[in-house]
Structure 1
């Protein structure tokens, strides 16, 4: 065997080893790609189920929101109808407060007039009594 033949034989063996390693790597990559493909299929299946469930939930949530909006509008309308009632209650409170103030003022005036009248009555009685006594004295002097 010549040197060229030995070199060709070494190159052929090296190429064969390289091909064997490439085949092993390609088989492993093929196996990994199969597993990735299965995982992607499962993920897609899960996403379809989740999407379907989410769509159903969104439809139900939209219905609930519509009912909530209707109920809220109804409550707001009914509360709006009570505004005049609370206004009337507030006005009644002001009227009662004014009535209390007027009653207090009237009571103070009546009490003041009563005190003055009582004082005037006592003074008048004392004055009349004094005048009567004075007349009696004059009459006594005149009769003497």
Structure 2
């Protein structure tokens, strides 16, 4: 064997080893490609299923939102109907406060009038006594008299 033949033999063996490793790599790449292909097919089926579920869900949500809007419109109408009630209640509270203030003013004036009658001369005492007699008379007759309905 000559030097050229040995070099050719070494080159052939190296080429054979290179082809062997390239075949191994190609087999692994083919296996990986099959797995990728099955994964893509599974992802495609999953996306199709999810898309169908999302479509059904969106239709249900749309119906639910429609019903919620109708309910909200109904509640808003009823709240608008109740606004005059709250306004009237506020006015009634204001009126009661005014009546309470007027009653306090009247009480304080009568109290100060009572203080004046006790400090006055005998004529003032007679007037106060007459007022007490009249009030007692009125209370007795009010209890004895039957109540009559008032006209409105």
TM-score bucket of the superposed structures, by smaller chain: 0.7 to 0.9
For structure 1, the residue ranges without an aligned partner over 5 or more in a row are 127-144
1:25 aligned residue? 25
Q: Going by fraction, where is helix more abundant, 1 or 2?
A: 1
- Alignment RMSD: 2.2
Larger radius of gyration: 1
The two structures have a TM-score, normalised by structure 2, of 0.72
d(CA) in 1 for partners of 2:7, 2:32? 37
Give CA-to-partner distance per residue, 1:66-104, whole Å, 9 cap, x none.
211221121112111111110111001111111111122
**Structure 1 residue 50 corresponds to structure 2 residue 50:** yes
Question: Which residues of 2 match residues 53-68 of structure 1 at below 5 A?
Answer: 53-68=53-68
The two structures have a TM-score, normalised by structure 1, of 0.76
2:105 aligned residue? 105
d(CA) in 1 for partners of 2:62, 2:16? 67
1:135 aligned residue? none
Aligned structure 1 segments of 4 or more residues deviating by more than 3 angstroms: 110-121, 123-126
Change (3 A) 1:125 1:63: closer
Alignment: residue pair count: 126
Per mean C-alpha deviation after superposition, the further-off stretch among 65-74 and 102-111 is: 102-111
